[in-house]
Structure 1
Amino acid sequence: MTHDGTHARDGGAGAGHPRIAPPVGGPSTRANVHMRYKGIPWWGWAAAAVLYVGTAAAAVEFAWIRAIDALAGLGAHRLELYAASLKSELGRFEMVPALVARQDSVRALLEASPDEARGMLPAVNAYLEAVNRDVGSGAVDVIDAHGSVIAASNWNQPGSFVGTNVSYRPYFKDALARGRGRFFGIGTNTGIPGLYFANAVHGAKGTALGAVAVKVSVDALESAWRTPGEAAIVVDGNGVIVISTEPEWKFAAMRAMTAQQQRDIQASRQYAGRIVEALRYRRAGDWNEAAWIGIFPDLRRAGRTTRFLVMSQPAPQGHDTIMVLLDTAGARRQQRIAFAFVTGVFLIAALYALYAVQRRRAIAEKLKAQEALRRANDRLETTVAQRTAALTHANAQMQREIAERERTEQRLRATQQEVVHAGKLAVIGQMAAGLTHELNQPLVAIRTLCDNARTYFERNQPAQAMANLERVGRLVDSMAALTSELKAFARKPAVERVAVSLGEAVAHARLIYDARIRDEAVRLDVRIAPGTTVYAESSQLQQVIVNLLGNALDAVRDANTRVIAMAASEPDTQGRVRFTIDDSGPGIAPEVLVHLFEPFVTTKPRGQGLGLGLAITSRIVEGFGAKIAAANREEGGARFTIEFAAAGPQRTEHGRWDSGTDC
């Protein structure tokens, strides 16, 4: 049993004999590892395991024998009850055909001519009907010498036996040959199984004129025998089950049928033309002379089997055999209980033994610890004096080190102040260079617009000149906004969000960088649906797009293909508009990408940027209630994405997408 070793090992998990541990890794330790486990010698574990296995096996076997013996006693009692029940139930029908055969009206009917018989039939049929009703049988028939039923208790019913020829039935043949017959079979008219008793009707000269047969149903007997946990069957002389508390076993054979037996059964129509098949069971061994163990198919669980204790004895009538099958599940349950009991006892004993061993070990360890404590106390007294002198020397050394550290800290603070001052000067220089870079582009645009305005005035085109001057005014406002970027970076201003045209903000940024786009041969593709509006602040939105477009131009400056694409999606189901700026530049380094929107983070050469542009852009976008993100595209270059809250459709008269523009 696999449980034995497992319990033995688990039970010894916390025990051991007290002993002085040798040095770690020494030969004595290795020897103890091989000879002991948890302080108990290996032979002790082996003896406990052998004892447990032997005791458990003996207990299981004893429980099985005792349970099966009790089951055999119950089976013997059941057989006596079933035999008495069978004798009582069928004995009262066995004499009925003999009594009916002695009636003068029945003998006269068999001796009469056909014309005379027609006049006698009503009285005989009524008599048979009364007899059948009084005794509670299935049917009572009068059969002539040729095997034809000439009178029956069910003469007036749809399935009447009158006119049926039963000369092939063994009970009729036996009645004519030996005076009486007994036979179990299925009715050819009704298809209902039953037991037939027959008796010959003799004339004045002693010749057999015919027979009287009584059919008895066994359904009530089967219902009375049906008991949970057991099965009862009656097997006829052919080895076929004719009475069974398990309906599926009925008319199955307890042994394989020979070809001749099958032919004889078919000739007598005993089972209404059925092919008798052997019951699929297996004999697992004999228990004693009167009982054996059999494995039968489980009728309630498909594909499963049930182990029965089978006992049998001859039936009181005929050549039948009564068998009772008792389920051995209770015996197996007793085995499991015995195994669990033995296992529990051994576990309790093992735990108690381990507790005792552990207690002895704890006492030994306590004594050992006390001895070690005494020795340690002796060493401590010696060590205290030595350590006191060392501490005195260390204290003096520490005082000197503290004084030196204070002087070093004073020098460090002075050096830090100088470094901070130098850093402030460097930041101011970078900020000045960045502001110069940011203001230089609008100034170039202003110069271009002023030159164009002068040309328009010379051509007497004041409208175009005034338009350029208005653009100059807006650029001046943008420059004023740029000078306040550092202040905006320091604090988050209150932003009033309104509906702003995204296309106009992009057009403003294109105007500022128009000259640069043309000079650097950059192809700018803009795909924004007319009327696309988002919630933002107009000037700050223009500043955001100007910053992003300027960064994109810087990124594609040295690229072989210089393409910048700006696009806006339709509002999604959540009312968000996605605005993207893609460039064909080299992309953003991964180590920079994670800190891209932090202050003073830049990929430009020293002196060409403060690293505040994207940080300010991020704060402005967040003030709109929008989100900005940056990523590298799979095909190369970088992509900046802003998700705005849509302000609602405001279509222009064109109502279409702007076509791409090449600059």
Structure 2
Amino acid sequence: MRINVRVRIRGIPLWAWAAAAALYFGAAAAAVEFAWNRAIDALAEVGAHRLDLYAASLKSELGRFEMMPAIVARQDSVRALLGAGPRASPEIVHEVDTYLEAVNRDAGSLAVDVIDLQGEVIAASNWNQSLSFVGTNVSYRPYFKDALAHGTGRFFGIGTNTGMPGLYFASAVRDAGKPIGAAAVKLSVDALEAAWRAPGEAAMVIDSNGVIVISTVPAWKFTALKPITADRQREIQASRQYAGRTVDVLAYRRGDDWSGTAWLGRFPDWRNKGRSTQFLVMSRPAPQAGDSVMVLLDVAGARHQQQLALAFVTGAFLIAGLYALYAVQRRRAIAEKLKAQDALRLANDRLEMTVAQRTAALTAANERMQQEIVERKRTEQRLRDTQQEVVHAGKLAVLGQMAAGLTHELNQPLVAIRTLCDNARTFFERNQPAQAVANLERVAKLVDSMAVLTGELKAFARKPDVERVAVSLNEAVAHARLIYEARIRDEGVQLDVTIPAGSAVWAESSQLQQVIVNLLGNALDAVRDGHRRVIRIAAADPDERDRVLFTIADSGPGIAPEVLAHLFEPFVTTKPRGHGLGLGLAITSRIVEGFGARISATNLVDGDMRSGAQFTIEFAAATSQRVVHGR
């Protein structure tokens, strides 16, 4: 024996509580995810804007100084000093020193130097200061080597004399096309770092070694974002790029990628020592080759958006839950009140029924007997009347179907005969008897098909099924096109036919021709008053279910929604009164169903047709069977 246990909490089934909980968690998860994605997308837009500003400011700041070494190298006194070498007079040395001092003061750089071929600074803008660069050998610096080898050099490093980081630009000084020394400019990036500082974010520039050389977080400067190999460490030490410091890797953890240029990661929080914070990291190449600009944006705002979304969903579910509990309690109170009223009413009814049953038993039995006799007579009369109405309705239905079918079957051949006769007369007038005879032969075939039709009408009662064979779609469409050839030409209709060669379906040849003629005629009526008159007939290759989709679409006004739902019912039409009985599509639907196919109609809402109606017939493919050509 099975025991059915129903658990309820406050009148609500347990399954309802479980469904509500599942719905809450699903809605909360979706809302939190949506809020996170939307907030991070907005943060990514802010980051992209920040990167644009930082890259532009970096390019502007560096562009002020990039051409300075080349300008200094063109100075005649500088070339004269380098050309004279150790034999240079104190006057030319003083002249170059004062020139470099003026250039450095006007440009706002840290230092401007002139270096001979051995890498020794022989003139400097700080020649008269205690930490003068004059006499310093910089032959190991990459910017000096690149200037002599390639004409220009660029290098970010820490000064060996001052210990101050800066960016070096160098240019070769040439005489008769040969380098005789180099001019170098050192500039500070403190102004950039100060301009880039913003609450809740960090900005930095990473050089080709992966080392942070410019940063709004001072503790991160000269740390690497990726491990540096031992060979590269030795090269860095040899160039004294970072003043002999060992470059350590910044302790951070990379998370998931958000987009092609953004990812999530946890970095040490410079605002709270000992803590790490999640940031949205975005980067792009810097204006200088090999460097990149990176910005870190705090995602605390996105977390706050998640919390707000969760709070909103929770509040909405709490309100809905309270309302549901109130509705359940109110329903229970009403149900108990109605139950008490029903119990009282039932007791009164039972008392009255007992008295009535004992006092009127015989009267009721007699009345029931009389009523049964009268009801039987009424039933017999209604049965006879109903039989007569059914017979009458059947006669009317058969007459209507035969009349409609005969009209549609004979109308199309008659139209074709009229067209062919007009063409034949034209051919005779043009003295083209061969074409005229061919048209008359087609007329004879159409007359034969009409004779076959009348013969089939005689055998209508004993021919319930349609004999289906493989029929060529191209032949059937060509027959319909021939019938309407004159109308298509006269009305300027663009008819596009796209049917794969060899396409065949299971159908009856003449009836398939009738179906396509009916649909093509309706399409011509639809585009007749249109500005753009296009009809497209197409068929697809058989699908995996071995079915062929055949479509006829027009650029007409389409079918009204209230008509579309009943389009294939008898006497439903979109044509004006007096231009159709609404039987064509009903007959077409019966013929298609007799093929074992299915027809449907839709309105076009997009695509190059932009408007109009489309009829689709799903046939059974017969590509591997013998094809019967259209009559």
Please indicate the TM-score interval, normalised by the length of the shorter structure.
0.5 to 0.7
> Separation in 1 of the partners of 2:212 and 2:70?
27
Q: Which residue in 2 is equivalent to 1:91?
A: 63
Q: Which residue in 2 is equivalent to 1:129?
A: 101
- 239, 246, 249: which one pairs with 1:278? 249
> Separation in 2 of the partners of 1:267 and 1:230?
35
- 92, 116, 119: which one pairs with 1:144? 116
Query: Cα deviation per residue 1:391-448 (whole Å; 9 max; x = unaligned)?
Result: xxxxxxxxxxxxxxxxxxxxxxxxxxxxxxxxxxxxxxxxxxxxxxxxxxxxxxxxxx
Q: After TM superposition, give the deviation of residue 369 of structure 1 in Å.
A: 8.0
Q: After TM superposition, give the deviation of residue 60 of structure 1 in Å.
A: 0.6
TM-score (norm. length: structure 1): 0.50
Match status 1:326 vs 2:294: no
Q: Which residue in 2 is equivalent to 1:182?
A: 154
Q: Which residue in 1 is equivalent to 2:41?
A: 69
> Separation in 2 of the partners of 1:292 and 1:302?
23
> Separation in 2 of the partners of 1:113 and 1:143?
11
Q: Which residue in 2 is equivalent to 1:428?
A: none
> Separation in 2 of the partners of 1:325 and 1:312?
9
Query: Cα deviation per residue 1:331-366 (whole Å; 9 max; x = unaligned)?
Result: 111111111111111111111111111222233455
Alignment of 1:340-379 (within 5 A): 340-365=311-336
Q: After TM superposition, give the deviation of residue 116 of structure 1 in Å.
A: 2.6
Q: Which residue in 1 is equivalent to 2:221?
A: 250
Q: After TM superposition, give the deviation of residue 148 of structure 1 in Å.
A: 0.6
> Separation in 2 of the partners of 1:239 and 1:170?
17
The amino acid across from 2:246 in the alignment is: I
> Separation in 2 of the partners of 1:96 and 1:113?
23
> Separation in 2 of the partners of 1:113 and 1:271?
31
> Mind listing any 5+ residue stretches in structure 1 that lack a counterpart?
1-29, 375-663
Q: After TM superposition, give the deviation of residue 318 of structure 1 in Å.
A: 2.3
Question: 1:182–1:318: 8 Å Cα contact kept in structure 2?
Answer: no
> Separation in 2 of the partners of 1:318 and 1:237?
8
User: SS at the partner of 1:284?
Assistant: strand
> Separation in 1 of the partners of 2:330 and 2:314?
24
The amino acid across from 1:327 in the alignment is: D
Change (3 A) 1:173 1:113: closer
> Separation in 2 of the partners of 1:113 and 1:348?
90
Match status 1:114 vs 2:101: no
The amino acid across from 2:256 in the alignment is: G
Q: Which residue in 2 is equivalent to 1:236?
A: 207
Q: Which residue in 1 is equivalent to 2:550?
A: none
Query: Cα deviation per residue 1:442-471 (whole Å; 9 max; x = unaligned)?
Result: xxxxxxxxxxxxxxxxxxxxxxxxxxxxxx
Change (3 A) 1:312 1:117: farther
The alignment of Structure 1 onto Structure 2 pairs a total of residues equal to 346
Query: Cα deviation per residue 1:222-253 (whole Å; 9 max; x = unaligned)?
Result: 11011111111110011100001111111000
User: SS at the partner of 1:239?
Assistant: coil
The amino acid across from 2:9 in the alignment is: Y
The amino acid across from 2:188 in the alignment is: S
The amino acid across from 1:226 in the alignment is: R
Bigger Rg over Cα:
1
> Separation in 1 of the partners of 2:88 and 2:49?
55
- 22, 27, 36: which one pairs with 2:8? 36
> Separation in 2 of the partners of 1:372 and 1:245?
83
Q: Which residue in 1 is equivalent to 2:368?
A: none
> Separation in 2 of the partners of 1:333 and 1:373?
60
> Separation in 2 of the partners of 1:45 and 1:182?
70
User: SS at the partner of 1:168?
Assistant: coil
The amino acid across from 1:92 in the alignment is: R
The amino acid across from 2:311 in the alignment is: A
Question: 1:186–1:271: 8 Å Cα contact kept in structure 2?
Answer: yes
Match status 1:45 vs 2:12: no
- 136, 151, 158: which one pairs with 2:130? 158
User: SS at the partner of 2:225?
Assistant: coil
- 177, 195, 198: which one pairs with 1:206? 177
User: SS at the partner of 1:300?
Assistant: coil
Q: After TM superposition, give the deviation of residue 290 of structure 1 in Å.
A: 1.3
Q: Which residue in 2 is equivalent to 1:519?
A: none
Q: Which residue in 2 is equivalent to 1:168?
A: 140
User: SS at the partner of 2:202?
Assistant: strand
Q: Which residue in 1 is equivalent to 2:471?
A: none
User: SS at the partner of 1:215?
Assistant: strand
Change (3 A) 1:354 1:189: same
Q: After TM superposition, give the deviation of residue 157 of structure 1 in Å.
A: 1.1
> Mind listing any 5+ residue stretches in structure 2 that lack a counterpart?
346-631
Query: Cα deviation per residue 1:546-581 (whole Å; 9 max; x = unaligned)?
Result: xxxxxxxxxxxxxxxxxxxxxxxxxxxxxxxxxxxx
State the identity %: 73
User: SS at the partner of 2:265?
Assistant: strand
Q: Which residue in 2 is equivalent to 1:303?
A: 274
Question: 1:142–1:149: 8 Å Cα contact kept in structure 2?
Answer: yes
The amino acid across from 2:160 in the alignment is: T
What's the RMSD between the two structures over aligned residues?
Answer: 2.2
